[in-house]
Structure 1
Amino acid sequence: MHREDTVVSSYHIVGTEHRSEKPHPYQDAIVPRAIRSATDVWAILGALTDVVGALLALCFLVFGIVVVYTNDRSIESAPWIPAILSATQLGPTIFPILFAAIAGRSLKAVASWKVEHGATIGALEQLLGSRTLLSTFFLQIHMRAFNLLGVALVLLWALSPLGGQAALRVARMIQSEEITAQDMTYVDFTSPLINRGPGKGDFLDVIDGIFVAELLSPAVNKISPMDTWGNVRIPMLEALDDYTEEGDSAEWLKIDSSKNTTWSSLKGVPHGPRYTAENRTFQLETAYWVTTCQPGRYHYEVEWLGTSIDYFTGPGVINATGYWESARNWAWFRLETERRSANPYLLQYEKYVYENVSQPLPDHEFKTDYNFTWLPSTPRIFHFETATTNRTLYSFTCTLQTSYVEAEVSCINDACAATAIRRSQQPHNSTNWSTLDFIPLTGSASFYERFINATRPVQDGRSTATEGYLTDPYTPYMASFANGDAGTNGSSLGSSWIDIGAVSPFSPLVSRRLSQLLNTYWLANIAPTAVTGVLLTDADNHYKGKIVPSTEHHMVNTTAQASTSRLVLRYNLPWLLILFVASTVLTLCALASLFFNLRRTGPDILESFSSFTRDNPYMVAAEGQHSGPLLGVRGGPGATKTAGSNLDGVERARLLRDVTVILADVAVDEPVGHIALTTALPAGFADEGAGTGAARNDAVALLRKGRLYD
């Protein structure tokens, strides 16, 4: 007898006494063989599957590392950013699928290894029944398995949706600001007059033009934080709502952009560089003049001259000491010129005293043996007198002081605005002194004379735009064009002449407006060429580390914090950490699957339905079928053993794929039924779905409601 016949003859096929003389189709399957080894083809394919799974899981780790490497970089410096963004869109789809495949295979490998070394049914059911987050959660509830394994499995499967969302949300494009230090310069308010000295008269028309242009600018420009040429305006600290003389001088007062700010000058402080792409924030030390004017009175003669006026020719006195009049003789400006120091021609600058009585000292020699005991305690006083209605004059008196401030300026591209201001914390001269007090009288006289004549009336006997600004800053030239009929000889004063005395409240409004005019004209005088942002820096103006007076404007250096806005990739740290954790766990699962599958020696019987046929006494082969050696023998404990114990579940399923099974009552004749998986079909069972020649048995019946089962 052949070996195969010997093997087959040891099995009893239930349901028939037929013994075929031909070789059985399952002879190869039931031949005894050694247990699986690592060199088995299916073992090698399984190992390769685990390796591929580990590599795919590592791709998500690498993806996270690339995101970290690309953090805060723009597309210009990292051209692979579009690929990263595309990958984030695929993450929520790919990661859960990959996680289910790898984690499920890993848990099965662990269960298969444990069952060979002894494991509780509860642990095996937990491992094999965990396939999704919800199934794992409800399995613990159904089994009442509230243990560490159950918690670990729930946490494991929670990483599946979290990992997918992490891959989606780990990175995004945002606007980022890169902060760098940038050198800047701006015009020093205490620069010398440009119109002093030979050859400087060419600038006078330019200076007057700048002044007139600011007066002519529309109302929206006058309230803007920048002047007509883009220079930043400095707020008048004294006019802010939050300012008090008793307040902390070091406290920054914020500038409310929603309110109309009172600016110290119509002309801003020229600064540079201009027209840059960066957003910048910088601080500048500057100053401005503050006039304090008191209401005056109406009268019929020039007060300080004691002379009545002719309404066409003016008061009839020209070039009186300390007295300047407009070219058309309808505004007069007088500065008190009593001696204010032992030497009225001392020019003090940057803590040095520069003596200039008639000519500069040789080699710009500095005198350092000085003190400030001679500084007066009272500010400069000046008088302003203007023609008004009813053939009268209006005269009022003002004081002139200097306000030293520190302003914080913010620029968005080339649009700048002062955002905060406070009293300067640096040492300065007495506020009762202005820059004009440190130059010869001829220089200050020239300034006042030019100021009063900068806006000439359009016709004799009419108000100037300077006077018009004091009454209405937004339409200063309306006075020149609509102030009544001047008459045939131009000597008549009409009823609509400007009346500065009618301004109410007089002191705050006239004081601030006159301060704005004086500061505007002063800035135009000291830096006419810088108005458009062309800043002069002359190394010859520096001597022994100090700037000395020159014919050009002085520059002050400062450092700005420049921020460049750009679109960069930015990772989300919480989601990045979740991605790293989920990817690491997934990689470990793939490696665990590889490890336990290689360590496993027995067949893979878990999770295969065909495993229910192993040594099952209710599994019988129908007549004429050759599956008997793989199926049990009915008869309970005395049943003959079956063959193919070394088969994996998939191999057994392939061999038994045509066998029909049913979950039925196998104890029909008993008062209490018994439910089992069997190949014996109930009598009269339809052939549809049943294998050819399937066995019928009257002792087997379908399950029915109402019957009791053990």
Structure 2
Amino acid sequence: MARYTEGGPYTVGSQKLHDNGSFSSTTLRSELLSKTASSIQMPITVHGGSGRMLKKPAGSIVSLVFEMFLCLVALCFVALGLVALCIRNRPTGDDLGSAMEQAMKLGPTLYPILFAALLSRSLKSMGRYYAQRSVRMSTLWALMNTNATADPILHLASMPASILVWGLLVLWVMSPLGGQSTIRLMYKTNITDITHTELRYWDSGPLGNMFFNVGIMEGNDGSWPLSMRDIYSASLMQSVGTKAGPRDQWGNVKIPRIEAGNTSEIDSAGWMPVNKSLGAEGFTSLFGMPIVGLQEMKGQGDLNFTIEMTYVVLSTPTTYHRDKNGTDGKGMTVECVDCFEGYQAAHFIRSQRFAGLPSDGYYDVADSSTPNYTEPRTLRFNSTVFDTSVTTCQVSQRMVEALIECVDGDCMATKIRPSTTDHRDKNYTSFDYWAWVVLDMLTGVGHQDYEREVIWGVGTSVLFLNNSRSFPMQTGISGTQDDVNISRIDPELFSTRASILLNTGIQAFMAPTGFSGELPTNLSLYGVPHIPGRGLQAVANETAWNTFQNTVYSPPPALLQTIDDLAPFVGASTNATFVRYTEVYRPDYPWGVILIISSVLLFAVGVAGTCVRLKTIAPNMFDPVVGLTYGNPYISLTGRDDDPIDADDRANVLRDKVVQVGQVNDYKGVKAVFGEAGYVTPLRLGVPYH
């Protein structure tokens, strides 16, 4: 038999038990048994001196305001879904898109919390409202005990045919669906816009050569700036990987040699694919092709276009040795053997033919078909180190077209073919016109006199000729002096590498400010649109053309108008296919609709819960823990008649009491009760409870 402390909330037998006033347990039981159905339905008279008046709406105003706030948040998710459905093809990166992205990141966390808080509170508000009007116990139990998605699933085990439980299950399923939809409202994609735009690039044909000769050579009485030499040297000082790659260090696309094309895969249009790993010998020059506006456009989409270029090539060399002359100095000199033979007439005729202009009839030449007028010129490379070697090559030109493709910001020449528009004789080159100054520059870079023996070794040009796969620098560490004898270089490699050096020098003169980027985008500075092979025809009229009014000595007036300090070169034109990819937002319609439906249902239930709360006077007696204290003779409250009924107020009064589920012994035997820990004893195994 359990023993109880005197003065507790109850006593055995006929002692009074306290709960909302003092009464005896026998009296309470007799009163309950004596009530009839009619007496229960009789109106109850409220006496002014006892209890508390109910208010409308019941409960805390703070809780009511909080539920209203949750309803507004649910409405925000509806708006979020609607905005997502209306944001189709909107470019990314703007303020609205950025805000939507942030909302999508927070949505999976906030939405389930909002859903659980608002739906569970609204269902409980509905339960209290229906409880004060009378409701089936199964309905009230389902409303009050559904706090998560798993609850209606468990309720189906006991009430499988309940429409209410199935409806609650549908509602709660919307919580994970809505949370997942917030991160799938929209996605990013690219829309394609194909346009054709004009590009300008350095004209290496007749008009470009005439532009340089008139604007720089004649304008400076045959002299040239010292910085041309430095530009040439800078090309040699690029990294080994850059010199072997498809672009120079300034991002300009390098043009492959026609010999680099794969002839086994030539197509019907004559295009040959280019191997991506060519090495330095696979390109015409150490410089790439300056193209106006390419740097800006390639960052906005993909391009493909063709350009035409003229470059010089050297024949297989012939090498011999001669005695060293003490006045020769040391290093390498380059000269044209026969450029000045029959100078006046030959220069005019060969220059005219190089430019594609008429040549016969201007000079009274006995036979302009002699080898001096028709055969390629000969270049001579003199190398003096310990002995002197002389290497001679014939120089000619190639006119090619290159297909350039820019994909994801990377541009390279992918195909090559002989020019289909430029059919000039390959035996006439810019060395017949003005390019002898390039030979002077190469000599100045790679040769020094014997004034003092404090400098040894060879220049960067010779080091490149010897090995294009190493950095052209001799350090002199440990006093090692490795001199280079170009007569020992493989002849094929020598002609290829020497051709590259010549083309690099020509480009350094013809477009000295064109390689570093930031070219003027005003296309009118580059002259009239034209292709390189027909540049002079584009600026000269036919009559002046045929009557020698326009010659290499007398350029067309339109060319003179192009010469300007702001123009880095004469620009040939090409039409590029520009595929612009604009990143935009696209809504995911199914997920957007799911979020809207889920949020609308949540908002509707939240508003319904708020409305019934405004009509509810029944106190909150449905708390699962505080509910155990109502009418419980084993827990004492204040002992006054106005002990609180509402769960929140009641929990505040009882917050310091220590309670437990234990046992007591009454006149029927031992039973399990919920009471204060000081007045019940712990449960035990083997004891039958009732």
TM range (shorter): 0.5 to 0.7
Q: Distance in 1 between matches of 2:162 and 2:425?
A: 85
Give the match's secondary structure for 2:309: strand
How much does 1:520 deviate? 1.0
Aligned partner of 2:465 in structure 1 is 470
Could you tell me the TM-score, scaled by structure 1's length?
0.56
Root-mean-square deviation (Å): 6.8
- Structure 1 residues 444, 161: closer, same or farther in 2, change over 3 A? same
On the 8 A contact 1:178/1:565 being kept in 2, the answer is yes
The one-letter code matched in structure 1 to 2:570 is H
Q: Which of residues 213, 232, 248 is equivalent to 1:211?
A: 232
- State the identity as a percent: 16
Give the match's secondary structure for 2:414: strand
How much does 1:267 deviate? 2.5
On the 8 A contact 2:254/2:283 being kept in 1, the answer is yes
Could you tell me the TM-score, scaled by structure 2's length?
0.57
Q: Which of residues 176, 189, 196 is equivalent to 2:204?
A: 189
Residues 568-597 of structure 1: CA deviation (Å, up to 9, x unaligned):
999999987776555333212212324666
Q: Distance in 2 between matches of 1:88 and 1:150?
A: 31
Aligned partner of 1:56 in structure 2 is 73
Residues 583-631 of structure 1: CA deviation (Å, up to 9, x unaligned):
33321221232466679999987668899999x9x999x9xx999xxxx
1:512 matches 2:499: no
The one-letter code matched in structure 2 to 1:129 is N
Residues 254-312 of structure 1: CA deviation (Å, up to 9, x unaligned):
8469x878432122333446997994665562425263644x55556xxxxxxxx6754
- Structure 1 residues 612, 433: closer, same or farther in 2, change over 3 A? same
Q: Which of residues 158, 161, 184 is equivalent to 1:143?
A: 158
The one-letter code matched in structure 1 to 2:202 is V
The one-letter code matched in structure 2 to 1:30 is I
Q: Which of residues 133, 142, 145 is equivalent to 1:129?
A: 145
The one-letter code matched in structure 2 to 1:457 is H
Q: Which of residues 256, 264, 279 is equivalent to 1:236?
A: 256
Q: Distance in 2 between matches of 1:420 and 1:126?
A: 73
Pairs aligned (count): 568
Aligned partner of 2:433 in structure 1 is 443
- Structure 1 residues 454, 245: closer, same or farther in 2, change over 3 A? farther
* Higher relative contact order structure (alpha carbons within 8 Å, sequence separation ≥ 6): 2
Q: Distance in 2 between matches of 1:534 and 1:651?
A: 74
On the 8 A contact 1:605/1:611 being kept in 2, the answer is yes
Q: Distance in 2 between matches of 1:40 and 1:180?
A: 68
Aligned partner of 1:526 in structure 2 is 510
Matches within 5 A, 1:157-556: 157-160=172-175, 185-190=200-205, 191-193=208-210, 194-195=212-213, 198-200=218-220, 201-203=222-224, 205-215=226-236, 219=240, 222-223=243-244, 227=248, 230=250, 232-236=252-256, 243-248=262-267, 255=276, 262-272=282-292, 279=299, 282-283=303-304, 285-289=307-311, 291=313, 293-294=315-316, 298-299=319-320, 311-312=324-325, 333=337, 355=358, 383-386=378-381, 393-395=390-392, 400-409=397-406, 418-423=411-416, 427-430=420-423, 433=426, 436=428, 442-443=432-433, 446=436, 450=440, 453=443, 455=445, 457-459=447-449, 466=461, 469-473=464-468, 474=470, 498-500=485-487, 502-504=488-490, 506-507=491-492, 509-533=493-517, 539=524, 542=527, 546=538, 550=559, 552=563, 553-556=569-572
The one-letter code matched in structure 1 to 2:117 is A
Give the match's secondary structure for 2:265: coil
Q: Distance in 2 between matches of 1:610 and 1:311?
A: 115
Q: Distance in 1 between matches of 2:145 and 2:243?
A: 78
How much does 1:498 deviate? 1.9
On the 8 A contact 1:232/1:270 being kept in 2, the answer is yes
Determine which structure has more spread, i.e. the larger CA radius of gyration. 1
On the 8 A contact 2:333/2:381 being kept in 1, the answer is no
Structure with the bigger percentage of helix: 2
On the 8 A contact 2:299/2:408 being kept in 1, the answer is yes
How much does 1:203 deviate? 2.6
Q: Distance in 1 between matches of 2:471 and 2:624?
A: 95
Q: Distance in 2 between matches of 1:612 and 1:497?
A: 104
1:590 matches 2:606: yes
- Structure 1 residues 121, 183: closer, same or farther in 2, change over 3 A? farther
Q: Distance in 1 between matches of 2:145 and 2:375?
A: 96
On the 8 A contact 1:178/1:563 being kept in 2, the answer is yes
Aligned partner of 1:688 in structure 2 is 679
Q: Structure 2 regions of 5+ residues with no counterpart?
A: 1-25, 32-41, 48-54, 363-368, 452-456, 531-537, 541-554, 564-568
281-290 or 128-137, which deviates more:
281-290
Give the match's secondary structure for 1:100: helix
Aligned partner of 1:304 in structure 2 is none
On the 8 A contact 2:121/2:609 being kept in 1, the answer is yes
How much does 1:187 deviate? 1.7
How much does 1:225 deviate? 5.8
Q: Distance in 1 between matches of 2:484 and 2:625?
A: 110
Q: Distance in 2 between matches of 1:44 and 1:477?
A: 86
- Structure 1 residues 138, 327: closer, same or farther in 2, change over 3 A? closer
